């Protein structure tokens, strides 16, 4: 479960509060562990459990043996047979921040009489703990954790998971032990989850809330054939009951052995000597969790030496030799106060939720997107509902759906999409076959504000201090009607406006003037032509060097540029053909914006003649940083040799160059597609020769290359 902010403050009657918290925690334990149907977000659950634990620590008289804080997971259900775990399946204690992590490490060192252990860090996979038992090398049983002592027999369902071997492989130099119980996490990968939800939505079914719940639901199917359809996966991370196995000198060795038996073990396992390094590693994964194709909700830190693990032992629910560092929550429950519609620069009318503000994904969220008309209908959220809000990484916060415990206000009716534009009042249109409803009024004020905001945004002309509110103010004061008007604004005009001081006014005028020198591709992108994004602007600027050269080309000539394509090319030529757009462009020229330097074309041709075109027509993808090159320089080194350097791997990729701090996703894709992988040290050889170092080309006529 994900972490939460502790909301504990001393209640007037602690005994009453403790009793109420125990009832709530026990109830939510059952919903989560037994019924796979949680009513509240993980973070909200964690808040309740932490408040209860804090009160029990503060008032030891109120402690009882039966408190849910002393128990692991939930009870078993009646659907599956019970399985008694020969070695109990424990839970993990949590550290919600660096201080709690350091406090745990201090306890460990104390427990080891001052010895500082080596720590081994693994990712904390967000799925379901599973025990998988083999006798004489054959898969005989799979069981959930249950309450830690008794789990549920899900053998038939787990047998359908491709990652789980039916027969163990022989580990090097050893026989397979008589009994091996491997423990790990059954999970659903993010792309498998998206495929599943895509199918659910297409069939008119309610989508699943998150990969963990869908993995849990998939395992609980009565019919194993249903489980088999669900693309479940497995990471092994621990041994349970083993009879006749080797003695290991580290947890890392144990994992390597489990891998030899035929189990998938995760590649991101790292050992550290200090807790400072461990903390830095945890923060790294907190920032990079979304580079993985599976969900993680923290990092698990274990003492690496099994002898030291034995010395430290267990509490009633968890080992003292391990802790889970939990990431801040990305999902929360809150009240949906209202649903409104905003109109963007292309006229798209997007429904969004006004929320009772809630701290999620590292910031307070008061508004969240509902994407489009159909999504509101499928999710069936209504004002007054309790909803789950999700904010993952840099993604715009979204309403996932109603919380299962939603107490819908009596008499609430399904929300209706408005008939007319909330900004200009013109009728909204849902074009045939499209998901988005649009306002087609060219002079709609909301569209105008959004267009100028897009022009000024970070990815475009990057004009600091020019947000939507300021733009509305400038339009209301009749100082501007479009982006070109920005360049004639004066400090005096701004100061005359309500609540704009001389310093802010000067800063704004300065940043508007500074934006005139932005590179051509940024300026082109800022024009906000539909389908015309950063990649196409970059490609056209690199090919033609000036806006006049681009405006002078035909659709076919533009479409021939790599990364542009027919749809983008025709939208661009149509846009430049419209007299009002041509007039706007000329006003930008008069204002002195950077239209590109014709000399650049000459220089580029000369440079091309000098650099051997060793990668002509080839695609090379770079992931991570290649020592000695910035990201841009590495791409430039490839393109200046006639190659392409897109951001993703495909079947056509000649090679994937792997630099420092590379994420796993491109590597995994390259491996899946059989694309050769080149170490950063061999990058220059690849540039010079255009051949992949270490890969031998097949003899002519030697049959199919693989």
Interface ranges with ligand IVH (CB under 6 A)? 90-92, 122, 124-125, 129, 145, 185, 237-238, 300, 319, 324
- Maximum distance among all alpha carbons in the chain? 86
CB of 63 to ligand IVH, least distance (A): 22
CB of 145 to ligand IVH, least distance (A): 6
CA–CA distance, 480 with 498 (Å, rounded to integer): 16
Tell me the residue nearest to ligand IVH as measured from the CB. Answer: 129
Distance set, CA 399 to CA 47, 109, 235, 332, 372 (Å): 21, 44, 30, 10, 12
Write the DSSP string, 395-421.
Answer: SPPEEEEE-TT--PPTT-------SB-
Beta bridge partners of 655: 620
The 3-state DSSP class for residue 568 equals: helix
CA–CA distance, 421 with 553 (Å, rounded to integer): 37
Of 110, 124, 451, 516, catalytic:
124
**Cβ nearer to ligand IVH, comparing 92 with 132:** 92
Q: Give the rounded distance of the alpha carbon of 322 from its chain centre.
A: 26
**Cβ nearer to ligand IVH, comparing 133 with 438:** 133
**Cβ nearer to ligand IVH, comparing 124 with 438:** 124
CB of 97 to ligand IVH, least distance (A): 17
CB of 298 to ligand IVH, least distance (A): 8
Give the CB-side neighbour count of residue 595, counting CA atoms within 13 A: 14
CB of 131 to ligand IVH, least distance (A): 11
Tokens 């720590």 found at: 119
Strands of the 296-303 sheet, one edge to the other: 94-95, 322-326, 296-303, 119-125, 270-272
Q: What angle do CA 20, 21, 27 make, to 5 degrees?
A: 95
**Cβ nearer to ligand IVH, comparing 17 with 145:** 145
CB of 208 to ligand IVH, least distance (A): 19
Q: What is the dihedral of CA 567, 568, 571, 577, to 10 degrees?
A: -130
CB of 185 to ligand IVH, least distance (A): 5
**Cβ nearer to ligand IVH, comparing 131 with 619:** 131
**Cβ nearer to ligand IVH, comparing 129 with 678:** 129
The sign one gets for the Cα dihedral 52, 57, 63, 67 is positive
**Cβ nearer to ligand IVH, comparing 267 with 517:** 267
Q: Is 124 among the residues known to form the active site?
A: yes
Q: Which residues contact 634 (CB under 8 A, 6 or more apart)?
A: 622, 625, 626, 645, 657, 659, 683
Give me the active site residues, please.
124
């Amino acid at each position: 479960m994900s972490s939460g902010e502790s909301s504990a403050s001393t209640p007037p009657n602690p005994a009453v509060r403790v009793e109420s918290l125990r009832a709530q925690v026990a109830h939510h334990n059952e919903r989560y562990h037994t019924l796979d149907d949680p009513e509240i977000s993980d973070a909200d659950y964690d808040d309740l459990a932490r408040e209860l634990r804090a009160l029990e620590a503060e008032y030891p008289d109120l402690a009882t043996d039966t408190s849910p804080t002393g128990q692991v997971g939930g009870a078993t259900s009646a659907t599956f047979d019970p399985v008694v775990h020969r070695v109990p399946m424990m839970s993990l204690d949590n550290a919600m921040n660096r201080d709690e992590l350091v406090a745990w490490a201090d306890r460990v060192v104390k427990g080891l009489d001052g010895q500082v252990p080596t720590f081994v860090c693994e990712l904390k996979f967000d799925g379901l703990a599973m025990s998988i038992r083999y006798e004489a090398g054959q898969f005989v049983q799979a069981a959930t954790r249950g309450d830690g002592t008794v789990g549920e027999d899900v053998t038939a369902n787990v047998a359908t998971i491709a990652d789980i071997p039916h027969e163990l492989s022989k580990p090097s130099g050893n026989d397979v032990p008589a009994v091996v119980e491997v423990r790990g996490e059954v999970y659903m990968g993010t792309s498998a989850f998206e495929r599943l939800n895509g199918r659910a939505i297409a069939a008119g079914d309610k989508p699943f809330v998150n990969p963990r719940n869908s993995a849990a639901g998939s395992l609980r199917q009565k019919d194993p054939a249903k489980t088999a359809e669900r693309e479940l996966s497995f990471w092994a991370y621990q041994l349970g009951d083993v009879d006749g196995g080797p003695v290991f000198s580290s947890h890392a060795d144990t994992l390597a052995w489990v891998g030899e038996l035929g189990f998938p073990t995760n590649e991101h396992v790292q050992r550290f000597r200090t807790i400072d390094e461990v903390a830095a590693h945890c923060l790294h994964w907190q920032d990079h969790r979304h580079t993985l194709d599976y969900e993680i909700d923290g990092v698990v830190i274990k003492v690496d030496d099994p002898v030291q693990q034995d010395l430290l032992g267990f509490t009633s629910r968890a080992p003292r030799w391990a802790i889970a560092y939990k990431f801040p929550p990305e999902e929360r429950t809150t009240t949906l106060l209202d649903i409104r519609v905003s109109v963007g620069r292309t006229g798209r009318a997007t429904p969004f939720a006004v929320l009772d503000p809630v701290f999620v994904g590292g910031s307070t969220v008061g508004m969240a997107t509902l994407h489009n008309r159909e999504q509101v209908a499928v999710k069936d959220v209504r004002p007054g509902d309790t909803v789950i809000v999700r904010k993952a990484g840099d993604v715009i916060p979204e309403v996932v759906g109603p919380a299962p415990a939603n107490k819908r206000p009596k008499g609430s009716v399904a929300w209706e999409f408005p008939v007319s534009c909330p900004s200009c009042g013109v009728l909204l249109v849902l074009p045939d076959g499209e998901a988005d409803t649009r306002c087609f009024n060219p002079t709609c004020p909301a569209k105008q504000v959004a267009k100028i905001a897009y022009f000024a945004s970070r990815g475009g002309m990057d004009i600091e201090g020019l947000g939507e509110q300021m733009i509305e103010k400038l339009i209301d004061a009749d100082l501007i009607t479009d982006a070109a008007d920005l360049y004639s604004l004066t400090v005096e005009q701004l100061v005359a406006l309500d609540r704009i001081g001389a310093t802010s006014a000067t800063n704004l005028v300065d940043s508007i003037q500074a934006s005139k020198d932005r590179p051509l591709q940024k300026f082109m992108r800022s024009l906000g032509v539909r389908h015309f994004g950063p990649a196409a602007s970059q490609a056209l600027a690199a090919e033609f060097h000036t806006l006049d050269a681009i405006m002078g080309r035909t659709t076919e000539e533009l479409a021939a540029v790599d990364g542009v394509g027919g749809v983008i090319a025709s939208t661009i030529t149509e846009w430049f053909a419209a007299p009002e757009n041509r007039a706007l462009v000329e006003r930008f020229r008069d204002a002195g914006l950077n239209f590109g330097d014709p000399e650049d074309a000459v220089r580029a041709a000369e440079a091309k003649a000098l650099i051997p075109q060793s990668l002509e027509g080839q695609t090379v993808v770079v992931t991570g940083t290649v020592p000695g090159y910035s990201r841009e320089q590495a791409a430039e080194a490839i393109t200046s040799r006639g190659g392409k350097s897109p951001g993703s791997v495909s079947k056509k990729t000649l090679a994937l160059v792997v630099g420092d701090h590379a994420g796993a996703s491109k590597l995994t894709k390259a491996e899946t597609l059989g694309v050769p992988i080149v170490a950063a040290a061999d990058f220059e050889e690849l540039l010079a020769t255009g051949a992949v170092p270490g890969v031998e080309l097949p003899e002519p006529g030697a049959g199919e290359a693989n």
